[in-house]
Amino acid sequence: MAKKRKSRGRAKGGKGRSEYVSCTNCGSRIPVDKAIKATRRVSYVDPTLAKELRKSGTFIPRISVTKYYCVSCAVHAGIVRVRSREERKVVE
Ligand SMILES: [Zn+2]
């Protein structure tokens, strides 16, 4: 059978079922190994204000926020791209 992707779109391998997570954007239930995980370091302080505060030597904490996206939302948000026939065989 022809395979679209080497990993079948997941990182499951030969193991059985895997846990599910909810997509941050649409709330759909997706397996953890299929979900696109995006970790961002965010600051709760307004960027312009943060710049001023940093100039005066203030420490501004940055919190890492992890979000899980389903494939369609990740494509829509530009986190991942639709890849060409050859390119999608490459596992990143
Ligand atoms: Zn989604």
In this predicted structure, what is the pLDDT of residue 92? 62
CATH match for 20-89 among 3.40.50.1970, 3.30.1740.20, 3.40.50.80, 1.10.3720.10: 3.30.1740.20
In this predicted structure, what is the pLDDT of residue 3? 84
**Cα gap 2→52, rounded to integer Å:** 57
Q: Which two tokens stand for residue 47?
A: 């960027």
Cα of 64 vs centre of ligand 1, distance in Å, is 20
Q: What is the mean pLDDT of each run of 10 residues along the chain (92 residues)?
A: 85 91 96 94 90 90 94 93 86 66
User: Structural domain boundaries of the chain?
Assistant: 20-89
In this predicted structure, what is the pLDDT of residue 26? 96
Q: What is the reported pTM?
A: 0.76
First to last CA, the chain: 23
The phi and psi torsions of 67 (rounded to 5 degrees) equal -125, 145
3-class secondary structure, 72: helix
**Cα gap 10→21, rounded to integer Å:** 14
In this predicted structure, what is the pLDDT of residue 9? 87
Cα of 25 vs centre of ligand 1, distance in Å, is 5
